[in-house]
Amino acid sequence: MWIYEKKLQYPVKIKNPNAALAKIIISQLGGPDGELAASTRYLSQRFSMPYREVAGILTDVGTEELAHVEMISTILYQLTRNLTPEEIKKSGFDTYFVDHTTGIYPVAAAGVPFDAKYIGVKGDVFADLNEDLAAEQKARVTYDNLLRLIDDPDVCDPIRFLREREIVHYQRFGDALRISQDKMDEKNFYGWNPSFDKKVH
Amino acid sequence: MNDMRKRHMKQIQTYAFAVKEAVLYLDTHPEDKTALAYFDKYRKLLREATRTYEEHYGPITADGTDTSRGWAWVLEPWPWELDAN
C-alpha cells in the first residue's frame, strides 16, 4: 500500500505559462519512455523477482517514479494556466485542448495516448532488469532532448533534476543486475529462470 | 504560503532526498555500515523537520493532521499549486 505525502519531491514554480512547452513535456507523462510507464513497469515487475534486494529496488524506484509523474503533471498544470484561446491556437496546444481542455491526460508529444505496450514484464529477472536499464537511458535521452528545446530556467530546473534521477536509477538497476548474476549457477548461467523454475542440484 | 513556510518545506525536501538516496543504495547494499549510519542521520532530521512543519503549518500526511484546527488536509494548498512552491 502507499501513503500520500503532501509535497513535491523537488519544487516546481513556473512564472510564465507556455502551452508550446507543455505540448512536448507531456511525453514524459504519457509517452513511451515517460514516468507513468516507468512506475507501472517497476511496480509490476517486482512480483516475479526471485531476490528480495531486487524486489526492494523495484518497489522503491517505482514509488519514486510516482513522485515524478506528479512533478511532470505539476509542470504541465503550471504551464497551461490562464491561457487565452489565441495563445492556445498559436502554441499548437489546440489539438490537445479540444479533447482535454487543460486537464492532465497521459499522451505522447505527438498525441498518442498512453499504452501498456510501452512497458515490458517478462517474468525473468535478467530480461526485466535489462529492460529497466534501457528504460532509464531512454528517459534520460528524452530529458536531454527536452532540455535542447526549452529556454525557460523555471522549467529547465525541475527537468534537470528528473534527468539526474534517471542516471541514479540506472546505477541502482546495474547493482541489482550484478547481485542477480552473482546468484546464478556459473555452470549453467542462463539455463533456468530463477523467477519460475525450481532449482535442482 | 509565507517565505518561512516555504523554507521549512525546502528543508524537508532536502532531508527526504538524502533519505531516498540512502534507501535506494541500501536496497542493493544492505550490509553497508556507512550507508546505514547516513540513513539513520537523515531519517532523524527528516522526522524532526516534518514534526515541526506539521505543528506550525499543516499536515504532510493525512495522519499528521491536527484536528483541533479542522481538516487542514484539504484546507491547505496542494503541492502542484504555484503558491505551494
**What domains can you pick out in chain A, each with its CATH number?**
19-182 (1.20.1260.10)
Average pLDDT over residues A82-104: 97
Contact A78 B9 (CB under 8 A): no
In this structure, the dihedral spanned by the alpha carbons of residues A91, A97, A99 and A101, taken in order and rounded to 10 degrees, is: 170
Cα A180 from Cα A129, distance rounded (Å): 9
Tell me whether A37 touches chain B (CB under 8 Å).
no
- If one compares A187 and B18, the residue with the highest pLDDT of the two is B18
Q: Nearest CA of chain A to the CA of B59: how many Å?
A: 7
Contact B73 A53 (CB under 8 A): no
Q: Give chain B's residues under pLDDT 70.
A: none
The domain of B62 spans 3-84
In this structure, the dihedral spanned by the alpha carbons of residues B6, B17, A40 and A116, taken in order and rounded to 10 degrees, is: 70
Q: Residue A38: what pLDDT?
A: 98
Contacts 24+ apart (CB under 8 A), B25-30: B25/A172, B27/A53, B27/A56, B27/A57, B27/A60, B27/A172, B27/A176, B28/A53, B28/A56, B28/A57, B28/A172, B28/A175, B28/A176, B28/A179, B29/A175, B30/A53
Residue B25 burial by Cβ neighbours in a 10 Å radius (0-12, 13-18, 19+)? buried
Cα B6 from Cα A195, distance rounded (Å): 46
**What is the CB neighbour count within 10 angstroms for residue A130?**
15
Instruction: Using a pLDDT cut of 90, give the percent of chain A over it.
Output: 90
Q: Nearest CA of chain A to the CA of B5: how many Å?
A: 12
CA-nearest residue of chain A to B61?
Answer: A5
Phi-psi sector, B66: left (phi>0), alpha (psi -120 to 50), beta:
beta
Residue with cell 523477482: A49
Cα B52 from Cα B48, distance rounded (Å): 6
Phi/psi for A156 (5° steps) reads -60, -35
Least confident of A97-101, A128-132, A176-180, A193-197: A193-197
Nearest alpha-carbon partner for A71 in B79, B83, B8: B79
Give B20's contacts in chain A (Cβ within 8 Å): 9, 60, 64
Contact A53 B10 (CB under 8 A): no
pLDDT at A201 over 60: no
What ipTM does the predicted assembly reach? 0.96
pLDDT per position as a tens digit, A31-40: 999 999 999 9
Q: Residue A153: what pLDDT?
A: 98
Q: Residue A14: what pLDDT?
A: 98
Q: Residue A185: what pLDDT?
A: 75
Average pLDDT over residues A128-154: 98
Q: Nearest CA of chain A to the CA of B23: how many Å?
A: 8
CA-nearest residue of chain B to A180?
Answer: B28
Q: Residue A186: what pLDDT?
A: 66
Tell me whether A154 touches chain B (CB under 8 Å).
no
* Domains: count for chain B: 1
Phi/psi for A144 (5° steps) reads -60, -45
Contact B61 A6 (CB under 8 A): yes
pLDDT per position as a tens digit, A50-91: 999 999 999 999 999 999 999 999 999 999 999 999 999 999
CA distance to A10, A178, A184, A188, per residue, from A51 (Å) = 31, 12, 11, 18
Cα A36 from Cα A168, distance rounded (Å): 18
Tell me whether A61 touches chain B (CB under 8 Å).
yes
Q: Residue A199: what pLDDT?
A: 63
Tell me whether A5 touches chain B (CB under 8 Å).
yes
Q: Which residues of A95-123 are buried (b: 16+ CB within 10 A; e: fewer)?
A: ebbeeeebebebbbbeeeebeeebbbbee
Q: Nearest CA of chain B to the CA of A94: how many Å?
A: 23
